[in-house]
Amino acid sequence: MKITKAVIPAAGLGTRVLPASKAVPKEMLMIVDKPAIQYIVEEAVQSGITDILIITSRGKSVMEDHFDRSPELERRLEDGKKYEILETVKKISNLANISFIRQPEQKGLGHAMMYAKSFAAGEPFAVLYGDDVIIDKAGFPPVTKQLCDAYEEYGKGAVGIKEVSLEAIQKYSSMKTASLRDNIYAIDDMIEKPSAEEVFSLYSILGRCVLPYEIFEILENTAPGAGGEIQLTDAMKTLSNTKGMVGVDFVGTRYDMGNKLGILQAIVEVGLTHPEVGEGFKEYLKTVKL
């Protein structure tokens, strides 16, 4: 079944990037000239997604404004004959059918996902974590498309995975994997925030998955887990134990936008390839002396 819906959970408080996130949602922090959330939405659209639900929380209405029309700004740009930037601004509000819903309390990613049940309306859907910007590699499809293709081929939920350090995996999740072919793995178990003794492998989910609609029934029967929160990984563990899932060791570069170092890495690496400022930025970096 072709995947046309995506959910972007973006309700987190951004405590790892305070004080920047006190008044500006971390999803709106800039990577050169676009906020992180726009990169995520564009990845979804380039993967064939037409309908997107963004799950937000109090104080994040600026995301809705960003994807809405801005008639006064558009009129000023048109009056000033700034047609190129005008088209860029107008394109933002036409990327996809984007809707928003609030998670009123921070009770975990799994709890946030339950607000997407009516949006999914019986269909499988992609999930693009609001903390994770993934830049695709030239010649390869976007990561969400890589997962959609795996879902359609195997008929099972698919997760984007990468090998990480033992230290990092204890903050993320660990997958029990068996090779299927190339960069595709069967997954029949997983654990959220494992201790060193509980680690299945160094493969962890990093920011992307495609899930069947039945995940909602599982979530509704999932008890709070790590941190006392309802964890999406715990629901996917149940799914992997019963139906099995597929892991895609995706091709692309992931930036953790909930982490100060990740934000700096994204700005530098994307900036160096930016068509407008890339060359100038490269020359500037050569002059920096520490």
The domains of the chain are located at 5-285
Taking the whole predicted model, whether its pTM rises above 0.85 is answered as yes
CATH number of 5-285: 3.90.550.10
Residue 266 exposed, middle or buried by CB count within 10 Å (0-12, 13-18, 19+): buried
The identity of residue 198, as a single letter, is E
pLDDT at position 37, please? 96
Name residue 47's beta-bridge partners. Answer: none
pLDDT at position 15, please? 86
Per-residue burial over 12-49, b = 16 or more CB atoms within 10 Å of its CB, e = otherwise:
bbbebbeeebeebbbbbbebbebbbbbbbbbbbbebbb
pLDDT at position 128, please? 97
- Cα Rg, the chain, nearest whole Å: 19
pLDDT at position 21, please? 86
pLDDT at position 256, please? 93
Give CA–CA dist 218/25, Å, rounded. 30
Give CA–CA dist 224/289, Å, rounded. 49
pLDDT at position 33, please? 93
pLDDT at position 118, please? 96
pLDDT at position 158, please? 97
Listed residue (147, 168, 166, 169) closest to 158, CA to CA: 147
What are phi and psi for residue 185, nearest 5 degrees? Answer: -130, 145
Q: How far is CA 167 from CA 101, 233, 259, in A?
A: 34, 18, 16
Which tokens belong to 240? 């992997």
CB distance 248 to 156 below 8 Å: no
> Across the 290 residues of the chain, what is the mean pLDDT of every consecutive 10-residue run?
93 86 91 96 97 93 93 93 93 95 90 95 96 92 97 96 93 93 95 91 95 96 85 93 96 93 95 95 92
To the nearest 5 percent, what fractions of the chain are helix, strand and coil? 40, 25, 35
Q: Which long-range contacts (CB under 8 A, 24 or more apart) does 175-178 make?
A: 175/200, 175/201, 175/203, 175/204, 175/205, 175/247, 176/200, 176/201, 176/240, 177/201, 177/203, 177/247
pLDDT at position 175, please? 95
pLDDT at position 171, please? 87
CB distance 173 to 191 below 8 Å: yes
What are phi and psi for residue 61, nearest 5 degrees? Answer: -65, -15
Q: How far is CA 159 from CA 165, 182, 232, 236, in A?
A: 18, 15, 12, 9
